[in-house]
A = this chain, B = another copy of it.
Amino acid sequence: MTRYELLAQSMAAEIRSGNLAPGSRMPSLRQIIAQHGVSQSTAARAYYLLEQWGLVLAEERSGYYVAELSKPVKAAGATTGETASVDISELVFSVLDAAKRPGIVPLGSAFPSPLLFPLSRLAKSLGQGARSVSPWSTVVDLPPGNENLRRQIALRYMRIGISQPAENIIVTNGALEALNLCLMAVTQPGDIVAVESPGFYAALQAIERLGLRALEIPVDTDTGLDLDALAAALEKHPIRACWFMTNFQNPTGVTLSAAKKEALVELLAKHDVPLIEDDVYGELHYAPNYPPPAMAFDRRGLVMHCGSFSKNLAPGYRVGWASAGRFGERVQRLKLMTTISASIPVQAGIADYLEHGGYERHLKKIRLAMHGQRDSMIEAIRRWLPEGTQHTRPEGGYFLWLTFREPIDAMALHRLAIERGISVAPGPIFSASHAFENCIRLNYGHPWSPRIDAAIRTLAELLAHPDVRARS
């Protein structure tokens, strides 16, 4: 961590602990410089970060103040949600639709704030890319995709010690398409697919849609996937594929250690079962290094690694990829049969940005923002939510997972929160069996603000609501 990040973190701790009261004046830049023996730019940057984290407010000419404590969020005039029993897709869509409503506090959203991305720089690269592609690329850039982009992606693999020729990379319409194509490439209707529990709902939707069966493997909120449970399941069931998220897992935020990733790859190799590895949050690591994905340990081409620029660079551009090991050709053909290719000028635009746009600088900034936002979220959870509420402390990404001590009905909480202008992602959407009624996923991918703090406080109120206390 740099000097100014350390300084900002220590000041953030002071604020969060209450030692610096809300509304009180923060030390001036000059005082900070003197007290901490730092340069002027270090002090200024630290305050910039604290502002970004929503912990201080700058008043023109008079300095910085500790941000006010929040007020509960008022109802946004929403109607009461549905109460009928629903399948997993219905649950998911009701949550996603709610998150789209303008003005909602998007704690249930799956997207980070679009304001964190270099959109105008990207637009420049996109224009550049579109002008520079050969007209004939509409024929030759069919799957696997734009050569320059695939080379740039291969270079990023190289940074984390994975040698992956550009030829192996298939560009897709975001990671979700890559994951879906990988799943289609290795399964037939009726097959069993192992997924995480709780796990990413899109995996469950894909399994439902393709007529497959899901076998849920428990995820420990500290250590991640339960490998013993997986080993037992592999002995007992003819599992045809696994779909796991090894870094900053959605919804828990937990990461498998390198040793566990290696053990996972060995276990699957023993059973000759392919792993669809969803690694879309990997670049959003707070520690200095990217935690190598399971693919780094694969020697048999069994790991199908899927990544994306949607979470860390260009949301809405819809560019992801699969490096699908021995299944590469099958995935490429499925791509050609379903959507032909990712948008060619967009591929060229992203390639241009990766070469010239300052990707590393951008990543550093967004990681730092999310790291601070995580701490602000955790602090708000501690401040407002009932004692005994457990939360994860992700080392990357922008989701954390709450488990309440008292039994609650997370679906009821979701519905009531929507009426108050807040979305949350209720536990049951992360499991085919609609388990995790006692859990919610919170998104901290938005710059911290009193409004978000107030939303957490409102959730605390709603937890006492009779509909939430009495499970349906």
Contacts and interface: CB of A to CB of B under 8 A. Distances in A.
A398 to B, nearest CB: 14
Contacts of A142: 96, 100
A-side interface mostly: helix
Interface in A319-359: 319, 333-334, 336-346, 349
A337 B96 CA distance: 11
A20 interface: no
A327 B404 CA distance: 40
A336 B184 CA distance: 17
Please give the count of copies of this chain that the complex contains.
2
Given A115-B135, A122-B130, A123-B127, 5 more contacts: A133-B316, A137-B316, A138-B315, A173-B342, A343-B346
Nearest to A112: B138
Contact of A337 (B120, B130, B138, B205): B205
A202 interface: yes
A126 B345 contact: yes
Contact of A131 (B115, B120, B173, B334): B120
A139 interface: yes
A343 B384 CA distance: 39
B135 A114 contact: yes
Nearest to A120: B131
A309 B345 CA distance: 14
A177 B338 contact: yes
B123 A337 contact: no
A317 interface: yes
Given A130-B123, A139-B109, A318 B337 contact: no
Interface of A: 89, 93, 96, 99-100, 102, 106, 109, 111, 114-115, 117, 119-120, 122-124, 126-127, 130-131, 133, 135-142, 172-174, 176-177, 180, 184, 189, 202, 205-206, 209, 211, 315-319, 333-334, 336-346, 349
Nearest to A319: B343
A126 B99 CA distance: 28
A137 B184 CA distance: 30
Nearest to A205: B337
A70 B120 CA distance: 51
Contacts of A96: 142, 336
The 5 A-B pairs with the shortest beta carbon distances in the complex, nearest first, are A127-B127, A138-B316, A316-B344, A123-B130, A114-B135
A93 B177 CA distance: 21
Given A176-B338, A337-B202, A343-B346, A138 B114 contact: yes
Nearest to A130: B123
17 contacts: A89-B333, A89-B337, A93-B333, A102-B140, A111-B138, A114-B136, A126-B345, A127-B130, A173-B343, A176-B337, A209-B338, A316-B343, A316-B345, A317-B343, A318-B343, A318-B344, A338-B338
A390 to B, nearest CB: 29
A136 B205 CA distance: 25
Contacts of A93: 333, 336
Contacts of A124: 127
Contacts of A349: 130
B316 A339 contact: no
Contacts of A122: 130, 345
A99 B139 CA distance: 9
A173 B318 CA distance: 10
Q: Which of A124, A172, A319, A349 has the most CB of B within 10 A?
A: A349
B140 A100 contact: yes
A278 to B, nearest CB: 14
Contact of A318 (B127, B176, B339): B339
A96 B339 CA distance: 15
Contact of A177 (B120, B126, B130, B339): B339
A209 B338 CA distance: 10
Given A130-B127, A177-B339, A337-B205, A139 B120 contact: no
